[in-house]
Chains A and B, each alone.
Chain A
Amino acid sequence: MKKTVTLGALTVAALAAGAAGAATLDDVKARGELKCGVSTGLAGFSAPDANNVWQGFDVAYCRALAAAVLGDPMAVSFTQTTGQTRFTALASGEIDVLARNTTWTFSRDVDLKFEFVGVNYYDGQGFIAPKSLGVASAKELDGATVCIQTGTTTELNLADFFRANNISYEPVPIETNAEAQQQYLAGACDVYTTDASGLAATRATFETPADHVILPEIISKEPLGPLVRHGDNEWGDIARWTLNALVAAEEYGVTSANIAELSSAPTNNPEINRLLGTEGELGAMLGLDAEWAQRAIMAGGNYGEIFEKNIGEATPIGLSRGLNAQWTEGGLLYSPPFR
């Protein structure tokens, strides 16, 4: 029996992934694989398909990052994290980057010692209710039963909202989105509250989506974005500028269709040239090669393409761009210049 003890020792030797030291970039390169934390499943944002391939909006960011750093968008291993375990997983070095629709808040940034690299989705907490309930505004919800997902900022927002409006409610905390959806559909709660994007994604999969309305109130600001550990600024820069490259690519009209052509030779637009590495030394400054952004964009397209493919209006999720349009089109997406 004692022989099996070695199995443990052996596994330690085989699996211990070395020190989660400061140089995440070196670790990732040495490993040949990016470890990315995603949610346990949210339609359109991250979920495995029948061929064991992860798909979704958050997943696409990880693939772009892997393409930029390692040259292979598939060189990502996805770790599922729950609302409770996600921060520990990142802090302990179990994952290199957390792309799990996480809200950027002061205390998470400062107190929990993480670094948000940007916002990939501007969201806000909303409510969904059956049309038959006859509710037009969240302020009419006095005494209603509200389903919420635990371990998120939603429960705090909800408490604040109802307190500010001096109305009462009955919270029903639920662990996963799928579970909450089942409770809501069965009528165990009057309304379901979560991020508006999640609401749209959830509603899209109902048997009769038209029977449910999303209430106009958005009771919080939820800037969702990827985050990395505090203290490794090189890695933080790579994560941040990969995201920015996707956004900028859309702004400059660089798509997965024309990127091969645009990057084959310097174009007239110096901004595009610097982005795609045909001019300047931006890649080298990051510690990567010149084509890093080119690969990131080729992985899944620019921000707009990723959006349309995973959660856009053509998909069952059917989200409109709204706040997430480019600044030139009235949205909030605004990439700092590449120079």
Chain B
Amino acid sequence: MSDTHAQTVAYVRDTMLDQQDPPLNQTGALKWIRENLFSGWLNIMLTLLSLWVIYAALSHLLPWALRGIWDASNLSQCREIIAERYGAGTPAACWAVLAERWPQLIFGFFPKELYWRPILAFLIFLAAVAPVLFSSVPRKMLWVSALAPFVLFWLIWGGSLWGPVAAILGFVIAWAIMAFAAPKIGTLLSVILAIVVPVIYWLTLCGPLAGALASVVPLALEQVPTQNMGGFMLATIIGVSGIVLSLPLGILLALGRQSDMFIINKCSVAFIEIIRGVPLIVWLFTASLLLNYFLPPGTNFDLMLRVIIMVTLFSAAYIAEVVRGGLAALPKGQYEAADALGLDYWKSMRLIILPQALKISIPGIVNTFIGLFKDTTLVVFIGLLDPIGLSNSIRATTDWNGVYWELFVFIGLCFFIFCFSMGRYSLFLEKKLRREHR
């Protein structure tokens, strides 16, 4: 004890000790393990249990997946290869079914030489949603978003270019009425005109016009019937068109539910609750079995279109609830400020309330979309070829009858990657919004 103070008290130290390393079990990995994994008997048990679960899952899954056979033309050949390589009865995956059939799982029966069309359509779709989802993208990109539905429709279904163009013309007419006629004849009348005139145009002039244009300048892609669409492409089409088409309806319903007007309010509430109270699968069966009863005798819709209509109504009810949340989350001062400025209802909604409410609703809308996208798997029960439906068809061929887990693992993984990334995005957005509000 040389460094103790000699003069005063024996036990008082008067020099500093050199800094020592912390004890081994208080640093680095050991400390981390002790604190995080083995801090108490409950924790120790949980850790051991988790390790066991991980081991049990991986020890079954990994060998099966890694031994997988990638090149075989049918299941029995695949089984022979497994028996030859690892001995009969060894668990091993037959990934060969994916190697042979993955285009079908993704594109359905879309003609192989036309695969570029859905791929291009998907890229355009991504470009179109970018300005909505990411505020850093230049605002001018919104023009792409506005035009995208028509381009996508044309790319996927094919046919004459002039059909979509003639349809866009209807909107141009509506815009022209609102822009040029409104100052002269009053807002109300011009709104009514802007709705009625395009509808009349679409019902009467639109078709012949497109036909005439097509006969002058034939610009057309090869038409692909809806029966040929399937797989993830079908799921995406149904999911995306369901959400996009349901947005306007959902916003109107949300406004209706907030409205003071008794009848409007009650009708919106009834619609939302009825739709939300009944499972999607019942609505899908309604689309497949009953929709023809409700339409004039003789009309005959394509099944996919019927499903899209039903899914649109369904998601409109959910979107309405999301938007209502957004409306309710706005401070009351915003409404009062709008009133104080003397704006009428629609102007205050359009210029002040909705832009803010929709912005904070985007995470909710994205979550609704994830749910809807997952729910598109239910269309298998009415005979549409979504990924699960296709997996049933593939298993019905003599080549691949008996394959089970491989297809489902692939489908599950695809869904997971897509939904997980969307979910992360919506979390990111929520965090950003929270920051902005502080």
Binding site for B on A (CB under 8 A): 1-21, 33, 40-44, 46-52, 55, 77-82, 84-85, 88-89, 92-94, 175-178, 181-182, 185, 202, 204-207, 315-317
0/1 per residue, B383-403, Cβ < 8 Å to A? 111000100111111110110
Give every chain B residue within 8 A of A16 (Cβ-Cβ).
299-302
B202 lies within 8 A of A6 (CB)? yes
Which stretch in B11-19, B241-249, B261-269, B333-341 binds the other chain? B241-249
Q: Which residue of A lies closest to B298 (CB)?
A: A19
Q: CA A48 – CA B305 in complex, angstroms?
A: 23
Rounded to whole angstroms, the CA-CA distance of A50 and B394 in the bound complex is 9
Chain B residues positioned under 8 Å from A84 (CB to CB)? 285, 289, 381-382
Give the CA-CA distance A192 to B275 in the complex, in Å: 39
Residue B149 at the chain A interface, CB threshold 8 Å = yes
CB pair A205 B401 closer than 8 Å: yes
Among B30-38, B43-51, B164-172, B345-353, the stretch that binds chain A is: B164-172
B226, CB-defined interface residue at 8 Å: yes
Q: Would you call B398 and A317 a contact (CB within 8 A)?
A: yes
By a CB distance below 8 angstroms, the chain B residues around A17 are 300, 302
B132 to chain A, nearest CB (A): 10
Q: Which residues of B contact A (CB under 8 A)?
A: 75, 79, 100-101, 104, 109, 111-112, 146, 149-150, 153, 157, 159, 163-164, 167-168, 170-171, 202, 206-207, 225-228, 241, 244-245, 247-248, 251, 285, 288-289, 292, 298-303, 305, 308-309, 312, 381-385, 389, 392-399, 401-402, 404
Nearest opposing residue in chain A for B396, CB measure: A41
CB distance from B105 to the nearest CB of A (A): 12
- Of the candidates A7, A82, A205, the one whose C-beta lies within 8 Å of that of B153 is A7
Other-chain contact of A80, B111, B309, B389 (Cβ < 8 Å): B389
Given contacts A19-B300, A88-B288, contact A7 B241 (CB under 8 A): yes
Q: Are B398 and A1 in contact (CB under 8 A)?
A: no
Known: A16-B300, A19-B298. A7 touches B149 (CB 8 A): yes
Contact in complex: A206, B289 (CB < 8 Å): no
* A209 CB → nearest B CB, Å: 11
A53 CA / B112 CA spacing, docked (Å): 12
Task: Tell me the nearest residue of chain A to B73, going by C-beta.
Answer: A50
Across-interface contacts of B308 in A (CB, < 8 A) = 8, 11
> Roughly how many angstroms separate A20 CA and B302 CA in the complex, as a whole number?
12
> What's the minimum C-beta distance from B260 to chain A, rounded to whole angstroms?
24
19 more CB-based (< 8 A) A-B contacts, given A82-B382, A205-B75 = A7-B149, A7-B153, A8-B312, A11-B308, A19-B300, A41-B394, A43-B396, A43-B397, A49-B397, A49-B399, A50-B100, A52-B104, A77-B228, A78-B227, A84-B289, A85-B289, A89-B303, A94-B303, A185-B402
Q: Is the CB of A178 within 8 A of B398?
A: no
| 28 CB-based A-B contacts, threshold 8 Å | A4-B149, A5-B245, A6-B149, A6-B171, A7-B167, A7-B245, A10-B163, A11-B305, A12-B301, A14-B163, A18-B300, A19-B298, A21-B298, A33-B225, A40-B389, A43-B397, A44-B398, A50-B100, A52-B104, A84-B285, A84-B381, A88-B289, A92-B300, A182-B404, A204-B398, A205-B401, A206-B402, A207-B402
Q: Chain B CB within 10 Å — which of A6, A7, A42, A316 has the most?
A: A6
Q: How far is the CB of B108 from chain A (nearest CB, A)?
A: 8
Q: Is the CB of B248 within 8 A of A1?
A: yes
Contact yes or no, A6 B104, CB < 8 A: no
CB distance from A55 to the nearest CB of B (A): 8
Give Cα A17 to B404, complex, Å: 37
**Chain A residues, Cβ within 8 Å of B163:** 10, 13-14
Report which of A14, A40, A178 forms a contact with B383, defined as CB distance below 8 A: A40
Of B149, B170, B396, chain A has the most CB atoms within 10 Å of the CB of B396
In the complex, residue of chain B having the shortest beta-carbon distance to the beta carbon of A92: B292
Residues of A within 8 A of B75 (CB): 205
Per CB-CB distance, the 7 closest pairs between chain A and chain B, nearest first, are A41-B396, A205-B401, A19-B298, A178-B395, A52-B109, A47-B396, A92-B292
- C-alpha gap A207/B74 in the complex (Å): 12
CB pair B398–A10 under 8 Å, yes or no, is no
Q: Tell me which residues across on chain B come within 8 A of A77, comparing CB atoms.
A: 225, 227-228
Q: Let me know if B305 and A10 touch, CB within 8 A.
A: no
Q: Are B300 and A41 in contact (CB under 8 A)?
A: no
Q: Which residues from A are CB-within-8-Å of B206?
A: 13
Given contacts A11-B305, A19-B300, A20-B298, contact A80 B398 (CB under 8 A): no
* B189–chain A nearest beta-carbon distance, Å: 19
Closest Cβ of chain B to A39, distance in Å, is 8
Query: Closest approach, in angstroms, between the C-beta of A223 and any C-beta of chain B?
Result: 22
Docked complex Cα distance between A51 and B167 (Å): 35
Q: Which residues of B contact A49 (CB under 8 A)?
A: 397, 399
Given contacts A7-B149, A10-B167, contact A15 B385 (CB under 8 A): no
Of B171, B303, B395, which contacts A41 at CB under 8 A? Answer: B395
Pick the residue among A12, A47, A89, A315 that contacts B393 (CB under 8 A): A47
Residues of A with C-beta under 8 A to B389: 40, 80
Q: Give the docked Cα–Cα distance between A80 and B401 (Å).
A: 18
Determine how close the nearest CB of chain B comes to the CB of A9; give it in whole angstroms.
5
- Whether A4 contacts B245 in the complex (CB less than 8 A), given A52-B112, A78-B227, A205-B398, comes out as yes
* Bound Cα distance from A3 to B399, whole angstroms: 46
The CA-CA distance from A14 to B226 in the complex, in Å, is 11
A169 to chain B, nearest CB (A): 26
Q: Which of B109, B167, B398, B404 contacts A315 (CB 8 A)?
A: B398
